[in-house]
Amino acid sequence: MSRVTLLPAHQWISGRAFPQHARQTGVSEKRRFTLRKSIVTVALPLPHEDELLFSVIARYLVSVRLLNSPSGFEALMQAIFKRETAPKADLLYNLSQVAAQTGIAWRMSATQIAERHTLLPYFASYLPRERRQAVLNAAVGTGNPTSYALLGHSTAAVKRVPKLRFCPKCITEDRQRVGEGYWRRTHQLPGVFACIKHNVPLRVSNVSVDCDRRKVIWTTVEHAFEERDSHMLDITETWLKDDSLMKVMKSSVSLLYEPPSEYGKTSSENYLARAKQAGFSNKGRRLNQEALNASITESFNTEYLERVGLSKTGWPIRMLTCNAKRQLFQPLEHVLLEHFFDKLESSNSSFNHRSKPPHDEHLVVCPNRLAAHPRNHRMDKVSIKYNSDGSFVGTGRCACGISIRFSRFKRNTHEPEIDRFFDCGESLRNTVLKMRDDGASIERISNRLDVPKTKIENIIYDDTACAKRLRSHAGVSSRYIQSLRQEWKDILSSVDGKRVSLAKQRSPQIYEILKARDARWLQKLRKQRALVRITDQWRTRDKRSVLSLTAAKEQILAAVPPVRASRSEIARKAAVSWAQLNGGRMPLAAATLKQLEEPVEEFRIRRIHFTSDNMIRKGVRLSRSRVLRSATLLERHVTPAIEHVISEILQQFLDESMKADDQVQEDPNTSLQRPRGAEIGQTP
């Protein structure tokens, strides 16, 4: 068994731990590390309270000055982690090797190192028991599968901390207590933007955490603090004074030391029960998702939710309805949701309290602000039915004509929030219809009257209301309607592209009046304009296709080897749909294509010319059979016109051959040569 040697940092790096002949024979520095890495125990400094393992190794690297020695750095990482590559900054694997290297001095196991000097307790706090044990095994072992995948970091909605952070006041206190500052775990948690001990914003260094392992900057917090290369987190003073946010940050930090009492509990059922108990349920005990999302957004700072990546309103619903064993959620999501429900149960402004009806049903206030009665008029008839969980459903009717159903009240009032209109009353209906006739949009009416858009649409498109509007418009003069029609046509013709949307922006009142009083003519005009627009578009496309087809045929005729300019080939080359040509919408293009089509006989003659010219250039003796064979023509394809063309080609070839022979006899030194195979006396 080899002897294990415990060396201080300066001896381990200087080379005095290696054989004398290894230094004298010129063995490289990396090789010298390799010679004894199996029997050397690295003397890492003792970790401080709440110190990251990254900080311990960084302090060691700075003390032995290995940051500028790549070979020495790699050998050190190999000795500590038994890996060829440097780990990431969070160091969530091969902790058993770290425990083996530091067991004599630290007296901690790999599990204790993971729980005391990494962020693993925080990220694993809400995991099921089996997965939490798997994450711990991956961190202690070789990291296959990796702890990052088991923690669900790749699919998490919460933004991770990109760079290490520190508190200047904590560094000052650490210097007085232990003589130096160090990276603390409590400053690196998602959603924790301030030091909970000193209530000051954290500072961000340039040391990246969630990056490629080759880009990790191994440095101490002392260097980041002294170099002044950090910046303060951009948080407002209201965050530090917000009790809810500070409580969320403190709860997140407490997960490092006091995790939930029950690991791995499937909390979706628990959250769903608490939500329904708080009153977030509709009729039929279904979850009121809209009210829950609105209340959570109202409970926390919107800017804070955006900074942590939870600005979208879907994450609370997923936590209440998804299976926790299939989909993982980050601890910050659990902390926010638990704090929200705890706040509802303890605060007087909770949803449950503001949803609770008054003790006397006669205190319910009519929500109709347009009625003739005073603003705080109490509804004449109210009936409230309670459920076993404390929720309720109420109905109310007032002398102004309004009849509603409700299940909650507005904050600190006895005015119900309307779930459904049974009857909106004459005053509200007439006001909505009048505003609509005057050209107001549905959204504007909703904002003006503080009534949901769906309720405004129900009033406008209700059959009874439409009938009353038609009767009320019976006395409108047709001359006024005709003037509005002509004015609307003029506006349409003046805007770019005759677009209705642009015309509505220019004169929304005219459009709304016509839509309310002359909707049939407006719809007929829209169809006519659409038909004209479509016809114009097809006419323009027809003219453009004629040019494309003509250019396509020229390209086909210039192709080598020759290709027949058929209708399908021309249409394909011009990128014109065959269905559009045969559909009758482009008659000019269809007629042009029919004229441009190349007859089969002309194509065969063109191919004969091409093959014969090619044979002459190659010096091949021409004959009728060779020409037909080269042009891939059969005897049955030969027409009188094709026969005439072949005869002319052969005769021309024979004449040129004889002329070449005569020139040779008159001047033997001439450079002109007759074609090969065209001897005198041979008939082609």
Closest Cα to residue 589, out of 557, 616, 549? 549
Rg of the chain over CA atoms, in angstroms?
Answer: 44
The answer as to whether 19 is a domain residue is: yes
The answer as to whether 66 is a domain residue is: yes
The answer as to whether 84 is a domain residue is: yes
Per-residue pLDDT tens over the stretch 515-543: 777 788 888 887 877 777 777 778 888 88
pLDDT at 183: 92
Which spans in 261-367 are helix H? 267-277, 289-299, 302-307, 315-321, 331-346, 351-355
Q: Which of 546, 569, 598 represents a domain boundary (last residue)?
A: 598
Which comes out higher in pLDDT, residue 380 or 168? 168
The answer as to whether 55 is a domain residue is: yes
Q: Distance between CA 142 and CA 394 in Å, rounded?
A: 62
pLDDT at 389: 60
Query: Quick check: bond before 145 cis, omega within 30?
Result: yes
Q: Are residues 178 and 226 in the same domain?
A: yes
Per-residue pLDDT tens over the stretch 201-217: 999 988 887 655 556 67
Q: Is the pLDDT of residue 182 over 90?
A: yes
Q: Are residues 16 and 88 in the same domain?
A: yes
| Stretch among 16-25, 107-116, 196-205, 218-227 having the lowest mean pLDDT | 16-25
Region 174-187: mean pLDDT is 92
Closest Cα to residue 435, out of 512, 522, 515, 523? 512
pLDDT at 353: 42
Only one residue has tokens 């294509």, namely 593
| 3: confidence class by pLDDT, cuts 50, 70, 90 | very low
The answer as to whether 178 is a domain residue is: yes
pLDDT at 22: 38
Instruction: Indicate the number of domains in the chain.
Output: 4
Q: Are residues 615 and 591 in the same domain?
A: no
Instruction: Show Cβ contacts of residue 170 under 8 Å, excluding neighbours closer than 6 positions.
Output: 181, 184, 187, 195, 197, 198
Per-residue pLDDT tens over the stretch 318-350: 888 775 555 678 888 888 888 888 887 775 444
Q: Are residues 564 and 659 in the same domain?
A: no
Instruction: Show Cβ contacts of residue 233 under 8 Å, excluding neighbours closer than 6 positions.
Output: 165, 193, 194, 201, 202, 203, 204
Only one residue has tokens 């009790």, namely 243
Q: Are residues 568 and 611 in the same domain?
A: no
Q: Which domain holds residue 272?
A: 239-349
The answer as to whether 134 is a domain residue is: no
Half-sphere exposure (CA, 13 Å, Cβ side) for 155?
9
The answer as to whether 23 is a domain residue is: yes
Q: Distance between CA 84 and CA 71 in Å, rounded?
A: 11
Q: Distance between CA 502 and CA 496 in Å, rounded?
A: 8
Only one residue has tokens 């991956």, namely 138
Average pLDDT, whole number, for the chain?
Answer: 76
Q: Is the pLDDT of residue 171 over 90?
A: yes
pLDDT at 155: 64
Return the structure tokens found at 559. 């192709």
Q: Distance between CA 281 and CA 407 in Å, rounded?
A: 9
The sign of the torsion formed by the CA atoms of 481, 482, 487, 488 equals positive
Only one residue has tokens 């791995």, namely 264
Q: Which helix (H) or strand (E) holds 393?
A: strand 392-397
Q: Are residues 343 and 282 in the same domain?
A: yes
Q: Distance between CA 382 and CA 360 in Å, rounded?
A: 10
Q: Are residues 323 and 177 in the same domain?
A: no
| 173: confidence class by pLDDT, cuts 50, 70, 90 | very high
Q: Distance between CA 51 and CA 182 in Å, rounded?
A: 7
Region 130-149: mean pLDDT is 74
Helix (H, G, I), strand (E, B) or coil at 416: strand
The answer as to whether 488 is a domain residue is: no
Which comes out higher in pLDDT, residue 352 or 229? 229
Q: Which of 232, 261, 296 represents a domain boundary (last residue)?
A: 232
* DSSP sequence for 416-429: EEEEEEEEE-HHHH
Q: Is the pLDDT of residue 351 over 70?
A: no
pLDDT at 684: 39
Q: Are residues 544 and 582 in the same domain?
A: yes
Query: Quick check: bond before 87 cis, omega within 30?
Result: no
- Number of neighbours of residue 160 by Cβ within 10 angstroms: 15
Q: Which of 305, 323, 349 represents a domain boundary (last residue)?
A: 349
Contact 62/76 with Cβ under 8 angstroms?
A: no
The sign of the torsion formed by the CA atoms of 467, 469, 472, 478 equals negative
Region 603-618: mean pLDDT is 90
Q: Are residues 340 and 253 in the same domain?
A: yes
| Stretch among 59-68, 137-146, 436-445, 541-550 having the lowest mean pLDDT | 137-146
Contact 131/264 with Cβ under 8 angstroms?
A: yes
Q: Distance between CA 15 and CA 455 in Å, rounded?
A: 83
- Number of neighbours of residue 639 by Cβ within 10 angstroms: 13
Return the structure tokens found at 110. 């790999």
| 403: confidence class by pLDDT, cuts 50, 70, 90 | confident
pLDDT at 326: 58
Which comes out higher in pLDDT, residue 376 or 67? 376
Region 555-559: mean pLDDT is 89
Return the structure tokens found at 620. 């091949």
Contact 282/355 with Cβ under 8 angstroms?
A: no
Q: Are residues 190 and 338 in the same domain?
A: no
* DSSP sequence for 235-251: --HHHHH-HHHHHHHHH
Burial 533-551 (b: 16+ CB within 10 A, else e): eeeeeeeeebeebbebbee
Sequence letter at residue 115: E
Region 409-422: mean pLDDT is 77
Q: Are residues 570 and 660 in the same domain?
A: no
Q: Are residues 188 and 276 in the same domain?
A: no
